[in-house]
Structure 1
Amino acid sequence: MEAQPNGYVSELENELIEIIKGVVLPEMSGTHEQCIYKVPQIIRKANPQAYTPQTISIGPFHSPRGSISDNNNLHQMEELKQKYLKGFLNRTNICVRDLVSKFQEWENKIRNCYAGLVSFDSKDFLKIIIVDACFIIEHFLRTVSYTNWKGNDPIFLKARLFKDIFNDLILLENQLPFFVLEEIYKFANINLQLPSFISITIKYFQYFNHQNINSEGLHPKHFTDLLRTFFLPSSFDFAQGEMGHAIEHLYSVSQLSEAGLVFEVSESKCLFDLKLDMGVLKMPRFEVHDKTELYMRNILAFEECHFSYQDSAFISQYLIMLDFLINTEKDVSILVDKKIIVNWMSDVNAVATMVNTLCKNVTMPRFNLKYLSLCQKLNGFYENPRNKYKAIFIHEYFDTPWKIASTITAVLLVLFTLIQAVCSIWSLVKS
């Protein structure tokens, strides 16, 4: 190949220098603090609305400040946030200058929590964080003393608005670092009259706290992380167990049921607490409603983005197992009949569709050895020749009402034919 003229080399050199000038490398010291992510597009496309705030934006990713947004709700809520900011300042008598000064100290630490590109300059960025942080704290404080505010607070006057804000505060892309909220709460000395901010937060999200986890030793990174914590086993022997490989196959609920496996609802409040004993699989109750997909998707997205090698993707493990167990409406119906799934969506097909799409494009995690052992035992139960042939027989002859009717008709026909033959032979012998 001929050498290019010196002019060409010089021009290329200058272009590369210009490219390098425009590149900002992330600070390696801050990457371990990242905990708020933009959901990867390959996951987002399955249901974009499940990750996008519909009523109120929190943090820089969806802020309408300085940008054109087609969601009028987000713009309208900015005025309400400002009223809450004033209410918070009046409540605490904090000097605005002192508040700004505190946030300036934390700016780099706050920025490091966001894994996506934050294009706002220092002034606009801090303005977003301050207004949103004060709004959340004031909103939570009013919720704690609901009886004093129910006739005056604009959010409490509209039940639907409260629910919509509640749902938006769960979204992964719509978060503030939790330490910011705690530090401002302490700075305002509110903890002298009221419980800690983590206690107030747990009370706000109590709907998800089926295990009644308390605030002791709890340090969530943000609200999405807190919801995930509510689902983790309290003993943590599951979380600290060894990790194995991913599971490749698991028979469905209907297949296992036809093979003779009995499904029972467990008294445990932890979703992960699946136990197989003497042909009985005990599963904790799982309530499914119209917002289950929203919070499960965001917890899954957090696990996908935050945990290296997916070793700690505990929610993902449970939902992938559930995806294997549930393939059709029949699988859901069995679990509903056993009161393992409480279906508030009324449509069993909607539940099956939701479960089958939740983990779409999510990285298959490595499974805890307890789950791997459980899957192997369930597959082994079905593949036991006696159970397998029993399942095949039930599937072939008793799977649907029509098959049951046909089978019974055929059996009766054979029986009547046999009786007729016996009677005929008996008549011949007798004569």
Structure 2
Amino acid sequence: MDPASITQASATLNGKLRELPRAQSECTIYRVHRHLRNVNPKAYEPEVIAIGPYHHGSNNNEHLKMMEGHKLRYLQQLLAAKDPPDDVGRYVAALGGVEAEARRCYADLPETLTRAEFIQMLVLDGCFIVQLVRKFDRVGLRERNDPIFQMNWMINSLQRDLMLFENQLPFFVLCELYDLIEVPGQHSRFWYLLFNFFTSLYPGEGNTQKPIEVPRQVKHLLDFIHRSWLPPPQGSGGSSEVTIPSERLRFISSATRLKEAKVMFENRSKGKTLFDVRFEKGVMIMAPLTVEDRTESFLRNLIAYEQYFEHNQNNFVTDYVKFLDCIIDSSTDVAILSRQGIIDNWLGDEHKVAEMVNRLGDSVAGPGRSFVYAKMFEDVHKHCRKRRNRWMANLRRNHFNSPWAVISVLVGLVLLLLTATQTLFTILQVV
């Protein structure tokens, strides 16, 4: 290569290196990657409200513009409620001080978003969230004709939208605004208000964590929900006590197959989290799971969060969904679990529940180095390998897999009994 080409190539590469964006280690709010989004795009898209920059201002989001007026109205109510009335400049100044830090939280900010527009968005979106959860808790704060609290579906949609992976503000922004609106430093109270607002969205019981003293340890509302819906602590006797590396992991069969192998299912509804699945003396003990219209979106966004922050080694939602995918293959499996009160099916159609569960794991990275249900899976396999259980499973699968098969076996037994009886009488007559 001639010296001129070497010089030109070196200069070009050095220029690109200087223009290289900062490392994304500080980023906490991403867009869902294409492979995951394509499985079910609607699960990651807001229905009624855009929070943060990713869904603001798009021509495809006409249905979200109605809430922009409600954001302004909530801000106006906040300012007017103070005596004397508050100045919005105080909120703008407070968030202006953390604007640079907030920007660094986003992995894909639109280049056209100016500093003033970004701060305005933080103030409007953040004040709306803080005022919404305050009103949800205290009826006295609600205006007489507030449409958000006059329509039940609106709260349900807001609960769903405010936890979406892409629809987030940095948590410290919310805490800054809460300090201006309420008493500064009372973040345990804010934690309670948020948990109270989202509690009906959780499809099962969790092991609620106490408020975190340092707000910047919480990334955003989806991280808050993840932290507030924990599995049993290590060493509590639950399924997370012992883990087995994923390369040695063997998945278990569906509920139908397990039932054939004399595995029983039991609903443990009180005092245990959704993730505390146990296998004791041939009985799989599970807490109830509610499946409704928002459940798929709720689980998908938590899975997406765990996919982006997998280094936390706290992928209990992904692991639980993989466990569900193992035991649910068809509507028959859903029916077995529903009869035991383990699945509370608000969708009505058992096939829809099975289809939802089977697709939740699509384009999701498999279990990591430690799968929390691995030890329980091994115990199930040991139970199914017992000769008597294996024989019963084969018998049921091959000879009792339909009403007609049962009838044919019974007819065969009756004929065998009649033949034996006739032979016995013949022998007696000869004797």
TM bucket normalised to smaller: 0.7 to 0.9
Matches of 1:278 and 1:194 in 2, distance apart? Answer: 45
Q: Deviation of residue 231 (structure 1)?
A: 2.6
Q: Which residue of 2 aligns with 1:63?
A: 56
Give the letter aligned to residue 208 of structure 2. I
Match of 2:100 among 108, 122, 135: 108
Match of 1:77 among 67, 74, 78: 67
Q: Which residue of 1 aligns with 2:287?
A: 284
1:87 aligns with 2:77: yes
Unaligned runs of 5+ in 1: none
Q: How big is the alpha-carbon RMSD for the aligned residues of Structure 1 and Structure 2? A: 2.8
Matches of 2:280 and 2:10 in 1, distance apart? Answer: 70
Bigger CA drift: 212-221 or 148-157?
212-221
Deviations 1:377-426 (A, max 9, x none): 11111122221121011111112222222222222232233333333444
Give the letter aligned to residue 373 of structure 1. K
Please tell me whether the aligned partners of residues 232 and 240 of structure 2 are also in contact (alpha carbons under 8 angstroms). Answer: no
Counterparts in 2 of 1:241 and 1:179: CA distance versus 1, 3 Å: farther
Task: Give the TM-score taking structure 2 as reference length.
Answer: 0.88
1:142 aligns with 2:135: yes
Superposition pairs of residues 111-130 of structure 1, within 5 angstroms: 111-119=103-111, 120-130=113-123
1:222 aligns with 2:215: no
Q: Which residue of 2 aligns with 1:348?
A: 350
Match of 2:174 among 176, 181, 191: 181
Q: Deviation of residue 189 (structure 1)?
A: 3.5
Q: Deviation of residue 108 (structure 1)?
A: 1.9
Matches of 2:372 and 2:302 in 1, distance apart? Answer: 22
1:323 aligns with 2:316: no
Counterparts in 2 of 1:388 and 1:268: CA distance versus 1, 3 Å: farther
Superposition pairs of residues 145-160 of structure 1, within 5 angstroms: 145-146=138-139, 149=142, 151-160=144-153
Match of 1:259 among 258, 261, 264: 261
Deviations 1:57-114 (A, max 9, x none): 00011111xxx42221112221221111212222244322222121111112212222
Identity of aligned residues (%): 29
Corresponding residue SS for 1:56: coil
Match of 2:401 among 399, 409, 413: 399
Please tell me whether the aligned partners of residues 244 and 366 of structure 1 are also in contact (alpha carbons under 8 angstroms). Answer: no
Matches of 2:109 and 2:185 in 1, distance apart? Answer: 38
Q: Which residue of 2 aligns with 1:213?
A: 208
Q: Deviation of residue 147 (structure 1)?
A: 5.4
Please tell me whether the aligned partners of residues 232 and 276 of structure 2 are also in contact (alpha carbons under 8 angstroms). Answer: no
Please tell me whether the aligned partners of residues 206 and 274 of structure 2 are also in contact (alpha carbons under 8 angstroms). Answer: no
Please tell me whether the aligned partners of residues 262 and 393 of structure 2 are also in contact (alpha carbons under 8 angstroms). Answer: yes
Please tell me whether the aligned partners of residues 242 and 369 of structure 1 are also in contact (alpha carbons under 8 angstroms). Answer: no
Matches of 1:108 and 1:32 in 2, distance apart? Answer: 15
Q: Which residue of 1 aligns with 2:162?
A: 169
Matches of 1:212 and 1:98 in 2, distance apart? Answer: 38
Give the letter aligned to residue 82 of structure 1. L
Q: Which residue of 1 aligns with 2:309?
A: 306
Q: Which residue of 2 aligns with 1:97?
A: 89
Q: Which residue of 2 aligns with 1:34?
A: 27
Task: Give the TM-score taking structure 1 as reference length.
Answer: 0.88
Q: Which residue of 2 aligns with 1:381?
A: 383
Please tell me whether the aligned partners of residues 81 and 135 of structure 1 are also in contact (alpha carbons under 8 angstroms). Answer: yes
Deviations 1:312-338 (A, max 9, x none): 111111111121121122222211111
Please tell me whether the aligned partners of residues 94 and 188 of structure 1 are also in contact (alpha carbons under 8 angstroms). Answer: no
Please tell me whether the aligned partners of residues 51 and 167 of structure 2 are also in contact (alpha carbons under 8 angstroms). Answer: yes
Corresponding residue SS for 1:273: coil
Unaligned runs of 5+ in 2: none
1:47 aligns with 2:40: yes
Matches of 1:19 and 1:32 in 2, distance apart? Answer: 20
Counterparts in 2 of 1:129 and 1:372: CA distance versus 1, 3 Å: same
Bigger CA drift: 185-194 or 400-409?
185-194
Deviations 1:166-221 (A, max 9, x none): 21112111011122111211123346999822111111112238347365447542
Please tell me whether the aligned partners of residues 241 and 369 of structure 1 are also in contact (alpha carbons under 8 angstroms). Answer: no
Corresponding residue SS for 1:57: coil
Aligned length: 418
Q: Deviation of residue 242 (structure 1)?
A: 6.6
